[in-house]
Amino acid sequence: MRHMRTTALMLALAGVALLSGCASNGAKNDNNDPYESVNRKMYNFNDVLDKNFFQPVARGYVKVTPDPVRSGVTNFFDNLGYLNVITNDLLQGKMKQTALDSSRFVVNSTVGIGGLFDPATGFGLASHDEDLGQTFGVWGAGEGAYLVLPLLGPNSFRDAPNLASSMLLNPLTWINSVVTIPLGVLNAVNTRANLLEATNIRDQAALDPYTFVREAYRQQREFKIYDGNPPADENDEYNVDAKGDQSVLKIY
């Protein structure tokens, strides 16, 4: 069963990567959103579901869960996903960062009791955020068409393969579903709870939240690919501060 799941994920990764390459070679739309009509429908679907289900659940979770517990849950899932960061450090040729991030993962997995605590930061091992979409960008791949995915929100042809690679590199993928399903639900609720304040930022920042989120996503991705030093673009309709709070991008 595991082999079938691995094969399926690898085929999905290869297929989306191929589509990303094809899309980057085609004619470029000004806002890279040739599927805007479909994307807006998906955005509205996600937004309605979020307001009527995920937000109420997240608010209830915040009321009954102390901040230290929520911080521990966040640290735990961040640490589980760090193998994806390390792998993409290596793929991007960042050898020093690979060593530092590997050390961070070991420290937090051991001294931090499975990642519940973050002693690595106190030891001077800063957290980084690398993924397969950034790696493709560093390798020269264009972003491809903008996408809004069901439940997952903003994405692109270039970034979508990270969904498969991050799953493959997450240890929870290879554990029995009796364990992974409850943990997956906890991760989703905890993540949404961490983003509740960002909802107000999105709703107050733009007349058209869809366009705001799209342009914020694109600028954030460019910011990450260039490690905080993207080339200036004075033509951006929405000049979102990529150095600021990025959590608004996760809100549908």
Q: Is the pLDDT of residue 19 over 90?
A: no
Q: How far apart are CA 207 and CA 88, in angstroms?
A: 36
Q: What confidence score (pLDDT) does residue 29 get?
A: 47
Q: Are β-strands 153-156 and 146-149 bridged in parallel, bridged antiparallel, or unpaired?
A: antiparallel
| Average pLDDT, rounded, for the chain | 85
* Domain housing 109: 2-250
Q: How far apart are CA 164 and CA 162, in angstroms?
A: 5
Sorted by sequence, the CB contacts under 8 Å of residue 162 that are 6+ apart come out as 84, 131, 132, 133
Q: Is the pLDDT of residue 15 over 50?
A: no
Q: How far apart are CA 248 and CA 252, in angstroms?
A: 9
Q: Is the pLDDT of residue 1 over 60?
A: no
Look up residue 113 and give its two tokens.
Answer: 């009791």
Q: What confidence score (pLDDT) does residue 31 get?
A: 75
Q: What confidence score (pLDDT) does residue 250 get?
A: 52
**How far, in Å, are 116, 168, 171 from residue 174 at the CA level?**
20, 8, 6
Length of the chain: 252
Q: Are 24 and 144 in contact (CB under 8 A)?
A: yes
The model's pTM: 0.80
Q: What confidence score (pLDDT) does residue 211 get?
A: 93
Residue 45: CB atoms within 10 Å = 14
Q: How many domains does the chain have?
A: 1
What's the whole-number mean pLDDT along residues 20-31? 45
Q: Tell me the pLDDT tens digit for each residue of 95-138.
A: 999 999 999 999 999 999 999 999 999 999 999 999 999 999 99
Q: Is the pLDDT of residue 82 over 80?
A: yes
Quickly state the pLDDT bin for 161 (edges 50, 70, 90).
very high
Q: What confidence score (pLDDT) does residue 43 get?
A: 97
Q: What confidence score (pLDDT) does residue 244 get?
A: 42
Q: What confidence score (pLDDT) does residue 80 get?
A: 96
Q: What confidence score (pLDDT) does residue 168 get?
A: 95
Q: What confidence score (pLDDT) does residue 30 get?
A: 61
Rg (CA), the chain: 18
Q: Tell me the pLDDT tens digit for each residue of 230-246.
A: 887 655 554 544 444 44
Among 43-52, 150-159, 226-235, where is mean pLDDT lowest?
A: 226-235
Mutual angle of helices 67-80 and 82-91, in 10-degree steps: 40
Could you tell me the end-to-end alpha-carbon distance of the chain, in angstroms, rounded to an integer?
A: 34
Q: Tell me the pLDDT tens digit for each residue of 190-245.
A: 999 999 888 777 777 768 889 999 999 999 999 999 999 888 765 555 454 444 44
The residue type of 28 is: K
